Structure 1
Amino acid sequence: SLDHYQVLSVPHDASVQEIKAAYHRALLQHHPDKQNALRGSRSSSESIEISVIKRAYETLVSPEKRGEYDVFRRRKDRIGRAAGPRPAQVISLEEWISVGSGGNGDEEEEEEGPWRYPCRCSGFYEISVSMMERGVHLVGCSSCSEVVWAGYELQGMSSFKMACII
């Protein structure tokens, strides 16, 4: 659903007069008769239904409705930010490759990580023990914006041995 402020092309702190003027502009711009004439000569921009424009106007011109709408928008924005990025896939730590500091293949190093998993862009995801201790599961690629969920559980408070899930 479109944001009422975007529908009328007004800032969030617009006055009632600015909202009324924007409403009239939007009605003229998106009127069906005008859209039909434009389609005949050239491709018109996205057209917004008149009912959507009216609903935006009725909400923003009323102080009570506008206040409720603003509270709803802020709550929705907070939830969206809290949700964060959505992982492309869940990858068990068993599938990650240990890139321990010494590289001599010793089992202790494999338990201490860090671990990497290849991304389809040829970059990689990397997770370390300290990230796991902080409860980090979402890991971003080193080269692109892709995010994956690293599946693991810490066993015991002092042990770094990982039990893989999934």
Structure 2
Amino acid sequence: MASAQSVTHYQILKLDPLLIDDQQDPTALIKKAYHRALLQNHPDKAAASQEAIFSVDQITQAYNVVSSPAQRASYDASLRLEPQANSGFATKFQTGVENVDLDDLAFDEAEDCWYRSCRCGNDRGYRFREDDLMEAEEEGELMVGCLDCSLWLRVHYAVLETDDCESPTNQKQN
């Protein structure tokens, strides 16, 4: 998901991913970085000597991805898998990624979420909802980080549209 120029969303917003991880609620920090990037890259206000001027679309795309926990997790995972695109980010995170099908995960009807235990010991380390699946619908896979450690789970699935008014049915990909 890194751009062809190998500029990350974090570089566009001038944010350190570790700083975001340290925040209990990074919403305000991300929003402030978004507004700062818009101002710094405005054609009428940007310094003439500035090397790269990012478009409003690039800044907005970066903000949308970084501000959504599910999209950010997927984006971070893609950066880890492309060390040549951003070697600084890739060396900070050396984690394992396990591939599973959605049908192999347990579903908790009371909490309306899928879950799986992690090898770190958390019985529900990997947890996500249908909304998370819908956000990553185009990719057909969702990256889910463990709540207690640095391990990741790549959940493969497909969304099938139904003819009636029922919600989409999630099934594993063939």
Larger radius of gyration: 1
Q: TM-score, normalised by structure 2?
A: 0.39
Normalised by the length of structure 1, the TM-score is 0.41
More helix by share: 1
